[in-house]
A and B are shown apart, each in its own frame.
Chain A
């Protein structure tokens, strides 16, 4: 792979855009939000994010999903944590999401529209909820 210039990147982006217009997509309303605080990073959140990117690319979901990064979600005991927002489904925070768990989330939650029950963390830990 040769070193790409910004101009080449722009052309690549435009060629992909044309591809996308051909497809009938419902828009990017699915969100995957990865916790990237100190706790998340130490627990491997970057590997998790990389795994999601790879999976989205493989499953051709990139045009439907936003991947965001956020700070610590207050669930340091279960990092890496990932919040998944799919329209028509409850917003879910998953804990201890490694590459294998990321694959389950993409397969079951994002494609299958079904929750991955064993990974769900439904609320922040009790000691940080505002009283």
Chain B
């Protein structure tokens, strides 16, 4: 279903965007062996029972599309993490927010590829809903550590409306440059 790990992160970030959150923080940490992400929102949250139900692949609360089987997609995360020697954790409190985390063993043969992270970050920054997106990324490659954090408000301050084609392309260049070692 989801080809790369970044699709899973995007899916969870999309849930956060739709949960009436004001501020969402996404962390993506990668080494040669391990991929970890977390998405922390301050949206509407879920009680224990709803969370349990959201993990059932055959359950939907029916609000997204009445009469249709569309849910939060969390079973995809659970399945992918568990089949590839990783794990997941979800904490949620009604009215306070939800934090979803997942980790993956990149050396496991069943682990999907990581995918395009700067592209993922660009896509998340443009998800409508929250007032602020904060994305933290760290990457260890050949013993060297790259680290950066971006905020939607800062980028809007520099570029203006991120949805304008030319700004989106500059944003893409900016994010891709962050993954270089200099």
Contacts and interface: CB of A to CB of B under 8 A. Distances in A.
B140 interface: no
A38 B159 contact: no
A105 to B, nearest CB: 14
B177 A62 contact: no
B119 A62 contact: no
Interface string A40-83: 01101010011001001100011111111111101010000000
B127 interface: yes
A98 to B, nearest CB: 13
A2 interface: yes
Contacts of B128: 68-70
Given A62-B165, A70-B128, A46 B158 contact: no
A63 B65 contact: no
A39 interface: yes
Contacts of B14: 36-38, 41, 71
Interface string B50-77: 0000000000000011111010110010
Interface stretch (B32-40, B84-92, B131-139, B168-176): B168-176
A36 B123 CA distance: 9
Nearest to A46: B123
Contact of A128 (B68, B73, B182): B68
**Could you say which of B3, B148, B155, B161 has the most chain A C-beta atoms within 10 Å of its C-beta?**
B3
Interface in A1-57: 1-4, 6, 9-10, 12-13, 16, 20, 28, 36-39, 41-42, 44, 46, 49-50, 53, 56-57
B170 A16 contact: yes
Interface in B137-182: 148, 154-155, 158-161, 163-170, 172-174, 176-178, 180-182
B165 A69 contact: no
A107 B62 CA distance: 39
A67 B168 contact: yes
Nearest to B10: A41
A1 B68 contact: no
Given A64-B165, A65-B165, A69-B123, A6 B154 contact: yes
A127 interface: yes
B174 A66 contact: no
Contact of B158 (A10, A16, A71): A10
Given A1-B176, A1-B177, A4-B174, A128 B67 contact: yes
Q: Which 10 pairs show the lowest CB-CB distances between chains A and B? A: A62-B165, A4-B177, A38-B73, A62-B166, A2-B182, A65-B165, A10-B158, A9-B174, A66-B163, A1-B177
Given A10-B158, A63-B166, 9 more contacts: A12-B173, A13-B170, A36-B10, A46-B7, A49-B123, A62-B164, A63-B165, A68-B126, A72-B70
Interface of B: 1-3, 6-7, 10-11, 14, 18, 64-68, 70, 72-73, 76, 116, 119-120, 123, 126-128, 148, 154-155, 158-161, 163-170, 172-174, 176-178, 180-182
